[in-house]
Amino acid sequence: MSRTNLFLVFLLLPFFWAEPGSGQSVSEVFQQVRDAVVVIHTTQTEYPFITTEAPVSIPGTGSGVLISPTEILTAAHVVQSANRVLVEFPSGEEISATVVASRPTHDVALLRLAEPASAAPASVGNSDEIAVGEQVLVVGAPLGEGHTLTVGHLSARRTQRGLFFGMSTVEFLQTDAAINPGNSGGPMFNMRGEVVGVVSHILTVSGGSMGLGFAVATNSARQVLEPGQSVWSGMEGIPVVGTLAALLNVPPPGGGILVGSVAIGSMAESLGLRPSTIPAVIAGEEILIGGDIILGANALPVGANLEGLESIIQSVAGLAPGETLTVRVLRDGRQLDLTTRIRS
């Protein structure tokens, strides 16, 4: 065999090599799962940092995976404040969707399609069973390029507090498979074609993939997306604690969530929550202020270190259709209560 042919064999080998015990090559697994991986198109309202400009509707792109004929698993930050969600399948089929459950603290969300998809759903696996060193596949839409496959290994398992401190724990699966903007919400598969993670974020200094990607383990996602555990507020917010709480005159014991974007048709909109629209620079960081600061809900305080947020989430998630939700906010220096009824 010539040196050139030998080089080609080694170059192509990773794409056809089957992991021990898997019985399938990377190419075979991809063909098995590709139809269940979707591109998620969103629009949301954003307020510019130039006060003379009006709010604008911004398009967004993410990824997701079909786990039942009408359900899509994705990342919370892809859809949390979306006014509109459209799901695109590899066949070109497009179906509108609504957010039915979301946990920004764990960065996972569940969408419901307006009608059943024709594609076959992917199987959700037990993320506890995958070991460090095993090969994994990530399929998504990096930089908007739909249904792109990247391959790597499970680099580590990371158990930490949620994406806001003081939250319940969440497990992240670290991988060296290339992950870039647009991959968010896409599935991480094991070599049996089972979803074991939902792509969340990367660590980077360049803005692109550096081999430090993280996916929420499916077992963590299951726990917080079960009925009665999560709701979709339709709001993005900034934790207000410590110095920021003092600067914004948050009353004792301090702590809250500064309302950012509010999605049309969401629980946040029905409450009448006001988004932040005033640009400010605090500690060298540009943020929008002036919106409501959520201090608590259903008589439960957020707490100085957000320690009450988990109890608030479970309390709101446990409300039945027709029951009243009461949220206390700080608005223009005054505390007031906003109410709405839970929709079916």
Instruction: Name the DSSP class of 18.
Output: B
Task: Decide: helix, strand or coil at residue 283.
Answer: coil
Is residue 338 within 8 A of residue 271, CB to CB? The reply is yes
Half-sphere exposure of 302 (CA within 13 A, CB side): 27
Task: Decide: helix, strand or coil at residue 322.
Answer: coil
Q: In angstroms, rounded to a whole number, what is the distance separating the alpha carbons of residues 157 and 218? A: 13
The pairing of beta strand 187-189 with beta strand 194-202: antiparallel
Looking at 35, 107, 176, 292, which residue is catalytic? 107
Q: What angle do CA 95, 83, 171 make, to 5 degrees?
A: 80
Amino acid at 190: N
Is residue 171 within 8 A of residue 158, CB to CB? The reply is yes
Looking at 41, 77, 147, 201, which residue is catalytic? 77
Q: Which residues of 267-286 are buried (b: 16+ CB within 10 A; e: fewer)?
A: bbbbbebbbbeeeeeeeeee
Looking at 184, 233, 261, 276, which residue is catalytic? 184
Q: At 248, list the tokens.
A: 């914004």
* 107 among known catalytic residues: yes
Is residue 321 within 8 A of residue 344, CB to CB? The reply is yes
Q: At 20, list the tokens.
A: 């021990």
Q: At 188, list the tokens.
A: 């991480």
Q: In angstroms, rounded to a whole number, what is the distance separating the alpha carbons of residues 170 and 83? A: 27
* 147 among known catalytic residues: no
Amino acid at 137: L
Q: In angstroms, rounded to a whole number, what is the distance separating the alpha carbons of residues 240 and 258? A: 6
* 230 among known catalytic residues: no
Give catalytic residue positions: 77, 107, 184
